[in-house]
Amino acid sequence: MSVLKFPHLFEPLIIGNTVFKNRIFASPQGSSYLDVDQLPTPEITVYYERKAIGGAATTCMGVRSVDSVHGMNFGDNIINPMNYRGISWFRYYTNAISRHGAVPSIELQHSGAFSEQSAVEGHQVYGPVECDINGYHVLPMTEEQIVQVIDAFIAHAKWAKRCGFGMVTIHGGHGWLLNEFMSPVFNTRTDRWGGTPENRARIVREICKGIHEQVPGLVIDLRISGAEGVDDGYGIETGIEIAKSVDGYPDIIHVSVGHATFDEAFTVTHPSMFLEDGVNVKYAAAIKPHIKYSKVSTVGALSDPALMEEIIASGKADIVNVARGLIADPDLPLKARTGHDEDIDKCLRCSYCFSSLMAKGQYCCAINPEIGREREYATEPLKVTKPKKVLVLGGGIAGMQAALTAAKRGHTVTLVEKSDHLGGVLLCEKDVPFKVHLHEYIENQIRRVHEAGIEVLLNTELTPEQAEEKKPDAIIAAIGADAVVPPIPGIDSSKVVSATHAYTHPEEITGKALILGGGLVGIELGIYLKNLGKDVEIVEMADKLNCGDNSVHEMGVMVEIKRIGLVAHTSTKALRIEETGVACEGPDGEVFYPADHVILAAGMKGRQKEAAAFAQAAPLFYQVGDCLAATNMAEANRLGFNAAMELGTRW
């Protein structure tokens, strides 16, 4: 008998003397906000602590290299076990995690033949075998060097235990050194470190054996790739062999998939929005029946507790690992345990978090504006001492976020929306299969607005004079943007429709369709229509399609474009729209593309002037979202959140 909705998911797991309070583990994530000595700062501490507060059983600081000379790839971080000054810093970090009942973990890895940073810095790179990679020469490891690597993992595990970590994740997947040894494709050695599955996995078994002997009580989580996900890589049959050859040495066999150095595998390791929820669970499920001694965990595209419950209950895995799902909503475990799973903001898998880390060195999230700013909001934001009367103009992404944040802080909020519904322009994508979690998020925000006691005025568009008559203390303008209509002859033809109309009325798009604009709106619309069986192509003026600054999502987009055969004509400008199609100027001169429908996706122009007209209608005034600059959902949320946090802080 259980009062819990997801009893299997929240059954404690005991490994040795370590108790994990549930089966939701925070998957390893690369560290940011480290100081010049690679020590954790308060910012990174609260970033991970926030997941512990939200109820995760573990949090795992990712990508710590055990060899700072020969084993470094870009993005790896260094641990120096002899840096005794650092122990106190990491003790502060582990105490912050463990005081919430979570087990702090740290990921250890060696990048092996793909130690590109080491090569760039002029150091020799070593791997299981001799080869050439990315312009540098890799030498095979000697027996002595292999033993040194084993000793380095054990030494770092000793250091981790001393710092208060209860678990180490040994990275044996994704193409790094230990995966290279275990792979029959990469490892062609003929000595005791190669050949049979048992020999190829010997290095991993020796590492685990040494840690258990020399660091008793430390839980070992071994991440492997159930399959490599590249044309010449190994498949699940070899993944099963690998898992069987290490069974009983690590406490947990953590089944991931892919190879981090290949784009086509990268977007499977970190599933794009075009893949289904739990897409990689099948690898753990295939391995689990062959494992007798270790626990088995799974990872990849998991943010729905009902799916997680089914995974555990059916025996596909013993543990679920969640990464981006706990960025989008760190309270996911707590909400699921208390029966408030409908309030979970499920990850959109837009990869904005990953792309931000790579481009800016810090995590951000499209739907969670607190990510990257946890230190500022480590506790519940205090109620303001001088509440304001706030008027929010516009009920889209930015407007709803501004209204909710302002109401949460104690302000009296009125939200005005000119249409008959909240949600904004992105509601047009509600029927797009790969945007299902976006629609769920918008519906959650709408529900929260109504539950927060915010006055909502629909079908209402105020003039600046009418806004002033309401005597607000502050106006937050979030009135959005208008679609750009390029001055092309024939643009007013009845065959021309907007991207929004195509999204909401795809049944009207028959025959041949041409999308004008190869930005993210045009690309994703093209993918949607193509998947519906529509005959659609894209015309883009630039020399390539443009996914914005989200480089990781771009990988997923390009893989999907290739999969479905979506044609894009780049370096091509529309000259005129005619009765039977569109005349364009391409790289080789004028060309004509037949089209029964032309869909405009030429970008958005913020309603800056219209918003600025309200600047003197209240003592305080903010412009947020697309009316400030038509960018993306993450920026809309961030700006709306920031504006509301400013209110009432100083007067």
Answering whether pTM is above 0.85, one says: yes
pLDDT of residue 31: 66
Residues 6+ apart with CB under 8 A from 148: none
- pLDDT on residue 332: 97
Residue type, 148: Q
- Indicate whether 163 pLDDT > 60: yes
pLDDT at 378: 65
Q: How does DSSP classify residue 381?
A: P
Distance CA 540, CA 590 (A): 14
Confidence class for position 43, pLDDT limits 50, 70, 90: confident
> Percentages helix, strand, coil for the chain, rounded to the nearest 5?
35, 20, 45
Q: Which domains does the chain possess?
A: 13-360 (3.20.20.70), 389-483+605-646 (3.40.50.720), 496-602 (3.50.50.60)
CB 294 within 8 A of CB 253: yes
Average pLDDT in the chain: 92
Percent of the chain topping pLDDT 70: 97
Residues in a beta bridge with 568: 538
Distance, in Å, from the CA atom of 93 to the CA atom of 165, rounded to the nearest integer, reads 9
Q: Which residue has the higher pLDDT, 550 or 226?
A: 226
pLDDT-derived band at 630, boundaries 50, 70, 90 = confident
Give the model's pLDDT for residue 650: 60
Q: What is the mean pLDDT of residues 582-597?
A: 95
Tokens for 620?
């305080």
The predicted-structure confidence for 342-376, as pLDDT tens digits, reads as follows 999 999 999 888 888 777 777 889 999 988 888 87
pLDDT tens digit string along 64-122? 889 989 988 877 676 665 666 778 888 999 999 999 999 999 999 999 999 898 899 99
Q: Is the pLDDT of residue 157 over 80?
A: yes
Instruction: Please choose, from the candidates 513, 500, 508, 538, the residue with its C-alpha nearest in 3D space to the C-alpha of residue 597.
Output: 513
pLDDT band at 460 (very low <50, low <70, confident <90, very high): very high
How do residues 373-413 score in pLDDT, each as one tens digit? 888 776 556 678 789 999 999 999 999 999 999 999 999 99
Helix or strand (DSSP H, E) at 309: helix 305-313
Beta-carbon neighbour count of residue 202 at 10 Å? Answer: 21
* More confident site: 645 or 507: 507
Structure tokens at 408: 């949460």
pLDDT for the residue 29: 84
